[in-house]
Each structure stands twice: as structure tokens, then as C-alpha cells.
Structure 1
């Protein structure tokens, strides 16, 4: 009976089978021995590198596969960080643009064989690929938010993740990274800061436990386990994250000046200045902000105010464009390594 179940076509989280989605069932041959060898060889080296770069410590996990691991998404290093806790290899769901990174993308595909996920596209193929690997007895890992956090708070995720966890027949492992946002903020580009960062398993849900839960209850448990607020954690236990040019590129996130309302903020070293009104503030190694007449001392609250202002601007915009830019090139991502140039022109943002 179990063998027969393994031969059934994989079903996506929305109930579609491969036949219904018009995709042929594929049974790729996974070079498992190569993946196991590379995992054992590279994991200790990776653990040393991320400790050296970020001060990261991975708490060893005693979990037997197959399992589906879900983790909050804070840095570009997250697959490596999460993998440091596990002796057995996992197959990570990764954005397909990684596979378009030339030689690096080919090496990642050869060494890790990630499951590609096209952003803004249908997740049915990704869900089917995850299900196939789980049914073969392999473990998979996914970052359900789909994007790194901008303000240090764990984001929302698609509700289909709960159904997938329930129907996979595997255990569900929730894994949380802490300290990562201040070590490598999304807005900071390639800048890295060394402080204290940790990754550990929060909870393991057995297949039997998952069967007794509804998909909504599973989603609630995942949200609770992965919930992280970098600002709240730093306020409770301030830690200095040392690096260079700590504030540079912060205007890619905080672009509205709270004093004059313009989008004229510019960063340099550890300072940000509005070139229209002269308003200035500093970004501190603890992740907080400091300055005269500063309305917010942290990125989370500033971003919440800014989001509200953008909504207000949209409501008051009428039929006029809110934003206009020229010389914009538009490409269409087809899948994995394929892109198609659509053209260049003027981009306008309207409220609808």
C-alpha cells in the first residue's frame, strides 16, 4: 500500500495533480551520494566561515528525515546557516534567479540541486517537486515568506504551506534564525556586520500530529514558531554589530524624510542626511537610530509610518501618477535561466 502511494502523481497544495496542470510526471535521478559527500565535506567549513563573518552559531539538531523544514528569511546566507545545524543533506527551495547566476548558478545546481521557485509565478510545480523528494525519503527546506525581511519582522506566507505540510507524510521542522537582520540587513547591499547570530530548531511536528491538525492550525503554529522582531529583541538585549559604512544604502528602505516629507535622503558611512532640509541622523551598531528631533529610534517604526504615508499619497493622488521614472528596462523572467527583454521606456506608478 505504501509503495503504491509513492507511485501516485504528486498533488499540489491547491489540489492539482501533474496531469491536471499539463505537466508530465518526472522522476529525476538524484545523485544522492554526491550530495551526501559534499554536505559532509562542506558543512564544517561553512560553519567556520559564517562564524567568522557574522558570529553565527548553529545549535545541532537531532532530527531524523524525511522532514520539511520551514525557516524565517533574513539573509542571503540562510540556506547555509540553517544547513549548519543538520548532519543530513536537505534540498532547499530557491528563487530561480539563483540558477541564472552564470557559473555560480551551475555550481549550486550541481552541488545542492535546489528546487527552483519562480517569483510571482505559480507554485504548483515547486510543490510537486517538494512532494516527490519527500516521498523518496529526502528532506526539503523552504523559506515560506519567499522574501527577506526589510524591517526585521517576520513576514506573512502563503496559506498553502499548511496543506503541503499535512499531506506530505513527513515531519515538519520549524527553525528560527535570530540576530541575522542586524548582521546583514536587506537594505545594506553586500555589507556584513559581526555580532551575535544563532539558528536553532523551535519544534518538530510528527506526521501523526500534523494529520490531527487543520492546515490553518499548522499555518498558525508555523507563524508562531518563526515570529521574530529584530527591534524588540535588540531593545531587550542590545548587541553591537561591528562593520564599516553601517548606514550606507539605508535610503533604499527609509526614503521619506520625516521632517520635510521629501524623498531626498542620502547615506554615507554611518549617517543619513536629507539634502533638502538638512535633517540628519546616525545608524548605531546596535541597530537603533540617533539624532536631534528624531521621531523614531528604529527602522521598524519608521517603515510603518512611511508605509502609512505612501497609502495616504495613493488615496490623494487621483488619476495623476504618484511616481515617474525614465529609461527603465523591462525583462520577463520565463523560468530558471531564461529571460526575455521586453523593451525600455518610461515607468509610471498609479494608485490602482
Structure 2
């Protein structure tokens, strides 16, 4: 009898659900606030009234506001959101996020417990939302991602809903210090029925998933009768952290930004950013790009060409020990000063003094955890370092290189071919 009781108690852990009162209260508050800030228009697939939940929900990841927007779009039932460790464990947010039953995911680890919690939540009738791109978009386009989400969809045997936000990036660009009131449109669509997930292979699921995530606000702006305007007194402030390579004098890490102006520190090239997020030429300059995403894509090509020709990108930097995700010893020094060197051979940190160079892994992930223009997390085996480069644009060098290397190795571009987007 005792053995049977022990067996029953260890069979299943009770699933934690969001606190309904707290969830409903903050949802109502958010709907009022976001209507005032963004005049959000929702477009909901009629099939969602026919196909019952619980749902596995995916969305494009463009700003910190995405989970709130998703909750408002799917307001009829509480959702458990999957969130990164650094957000979930933020001291100020932790007590509140606990009320929402956030599912935590830890970087640089195999997250079996996270996957298990997603599965049991769906089985217990709770909808779960996850962002396949894992990181907010830096320049406004899709952040490449591997097949892990597609494999999870295949396993869940649950209907999948996509919540795609247009205007979310321009409403709070990754490089901008604060949000920008304007306009948003949210499309909610039944992406897969439960039956479809069982009849499709993982690669076919991945193709449809990538197609659903492939959205950018600049293209959305061009399809509108009148482009949406986003309020900011300093629309170009900190844009130089993302767009740093001058197209006029061909120098990397040369651009600076202030108020509504993006300009080169070495020549007379400059651009202005308007309320729609697009560029216009400053007096005496040309505007070779329509918008920052155009600029960023050109810059990625320049970075790739420079590396392939044997070029190097260097920056003085400070390295801080962040965590040890293995069983080995921590490093002898928890903080180092030296130089980061990126080349076709990879990424090295050269400490000041007589210490040996540190080889840092890059290219193994399509999206590095970073603060644009500030820091980037980099692994050395099981040791995770946080690097603080001197030049604000150097973080984008590293994220672009990692992204380009991963895309080539995984042949991700096959999902972005014209036939797959029509």
C-alpha cells in the first residue's frame, strides 16, 4: 500500500497555471494602455472559433512588448509564456512573473525540463506561447532559428497558432532606449491543426513556420495606404549601434547618431530618420538606403566579404565571467581586459599581459544574447563570458558573423526562397 502511494505521488507533478485574477487584471490594463499608445487592430482567423485549444502559440519576436500583445490577441484564455532566464529572474519582475507561471529557459544548456513543462502544460489544458527566434530582431527582419520548435510541434499533437505583430519593431526598435507610440496590426492565424502536425515531417513544419515568421515592419509600411507614424523626439538615437559602416568612405564602426540624424564621424555622409522609420537624405548627402533594415543587410554583405578576403575586425574589450554551465573549474580571473579579434579563423580574446589567447565559440548559434551596442555573451567551452567591446558597433559585427556562419552551415536560406514565401 505504501509502495502504491509513493508511486502515485511520483507519477506527475501538478502543472502551475497563471493566476486568473492577476492575469485578467493586467490584461485589461494592457488593452486600455496599448489602445492609447498603438491603436492596435486585431485580425483573427475565424477557424480559431471552430478548433478548440489548448494551443501552442508562436510569434515573431521584435520587442519586449511581444508577450503582452500576444496575450491581448488571445485574450479568451490564460497563456503560459516561455521566457529566457535573464528576464524571468529579473529582481523587479520576478514576483510579478511568478503570478503568470512563466516557463523558464536557460541559454547554453539542453533544456529537457523546459520541454517537459511545455508538454505537460498542453496536456493539462493550458496554452503555451514560445518565440522560435529566441532573440528580439536586431534590424527588424527574421532572426534565423533551428528546427527545435518544429520538432516540438510534431511531438505536441496540438493545434498551433501564429500571432504576428506588424508595427511592433518600429514601436520599440531593438537599438532604441524606449518605446515609440504609433500604430500596430496583429494577425492571429491557425497555423497547423493537430492532425497536420502528425501528417507533416519536421522539415515541412519548419518551412511553414519560417514563412509565418518572415515579416518586417518596413515592408508592412509600404503596403499601407499611409505609412504609420511613430512618435519619438530622437528617432535615430543609438541607431549607430546597428548601422555602423559608412557607405561613403567605406569605414566600419564609423557612424554616429543623435536625435534624428545618423552621420559618419570621418566624412560628410549623413541620413535623417523620419517618423515612419525611413531614411531621408540630409542636405548635401544621398540616401543609398530606404531604411535601417536595407542598411543592415548591405552591412552584413560587407562584413562577409571582408572576412572572406582575410580581413579582421578588432576592438578593445573587457571580459567578465558570467557563469559555468559545466562541472569543471571556474576561470582563475573573473575579469579580463584586452582585445577581441574576429577573423575567418573565428573569434579570439587577447588578454593584456602574458596570458594565453582565449578562443571563443562563435557561429554555432544564429542569435547571440546581447545588449545592442553594449555587451554580448560568448562561450569558451562550459565557461560563459560577457564581453563589453569599446566600439558600440562591434557587437553587431559578432552577431552578424555568427548569423551568417550559422545560416551557411544549416542552409537556412532554402526556407526563404521565393517559392516558399508566396
Check conservation: 2:165, 2:187, Cα contact below 8 A: yes
Aligned to 2:260: 270
Query: How much has 1:228 moved relative to structure 2?
Result: 0.7
Aligned to 2:245: 256
For 2:314, which of 320, 323, 338 is the aligned residue?
323
Query: How much has 1:344 moved relative to structure 2?
Result: 2.4
Give yes or no for the alignment of 1:44 onto 2:35. Answer: no
Q: CA RMSD in A?
A: 2.5
Q: 2:203 & 2:71 partners in 1: Cα distance?
A: 27
Aligned to 2:173: 185
Query: How much has 1:289 moved relative to structure 2?
Result: 0.6
Structure 1 residues 103 and 242 mapped into 2: Cα distance closer, same or farther (>3 Å)? closer
Aligned to 2:100: 112
Give yes or no for the alignment of 1:158 onto 2:146. Answer: yes
Give yes or no for the alignment of 1:98 onto 2:87. Answer: yes
For 2:209, which of 217, 222, 225 is the aligned residue?
222
Query: How much has 1:322 moved relative to structure 2?
Result: 1.8
Aligned to 2:375: none
| Farther off after superposition, 196-205 or 321-330 | 321-330
Q: 2:342 & 2:145 partners in 1: Cα distance?
A: 26
Query: How much has 1:245 moved relative to structure 2?
Result: 0.6
Structure 1 residues 289 and 170 mapped into 2: Cα distance closer, same or farther (>3 Å)? same
Check conservation: 2:228, 2:276, Cα contact below 8 A: yes
Query: How much has 1:244 moved relative to structure 2?
Result: 1.7
Query: How much has 1:51 moved relative to structure 2?
Result: 2.1
Structure 1 residues 59 and 38 mapped into 2: Cα distance closer, same or farther (>3 Å)? farther
Aligned to 1:170: 158
Q: 2:215 & 2:263 partners in 1: Cα distance?
A: 29
Structure 1 residues 172 and 288 mapped into 2: Cα distance closer, same or farther (>3 Å)? same
Aligned to 1:348: 340
Give yes or no for the alignment of 1:294 onto 2:287. Answer: yes
Query: How much has 1:52 moved relative to structure 2?
Result: 2.3
Give yes or no for the alignment of 1:200 onto 2:191. Answer: no
Deviations for 1:126-146, whole angstroms, at most 9, x for unmatched residues?
A: 222211211222111000011
TM-score of the superposed pair, with normalisation by structure 1: 0.84
Q: 2:256 & 2:217 partners in 1: Cα distance?
A: 24
| Farther off after superposition, 78-87 or 120-129 | 120-129
Check conservation: 2:140, 2:216, Cα contact below 8 A: yes
Deviations for 1:278-312, whole angstroms, at most 9, x for unmatched residues?
A: 21110111111111222112112211111111112
Aligned to 1:13: none
| Farther off after superposition, 342-351 or 156-165 | 342-351
Q: 1:283 & 1:102 partners in 2: Cα distance?
A: 35
Structure 1, unmatched stretches of 5+, are 1-6, 8-24
Q: 2:19 & 2:136 partners in 1: Cα distance?
A: 26
Check conservation: 1:202, 1:225, Cα contact below 8 A: no
For 2:70, which of 66, 82, 88 is the aligned residue?
82
Structure 1 residues 347 and 115 mapped into 2: Cα distance closer, same or farther (>3 Å)? farther
TM-score of the superposed pair, with normalisation by structure 2: 0.70
Aligned to 1:3: none
Query: How much has 1:270 moved relative to structure 2?
Result: 0.6
Q: 1:161 & 1:326 partners in 2: Cα distance?
A: 35
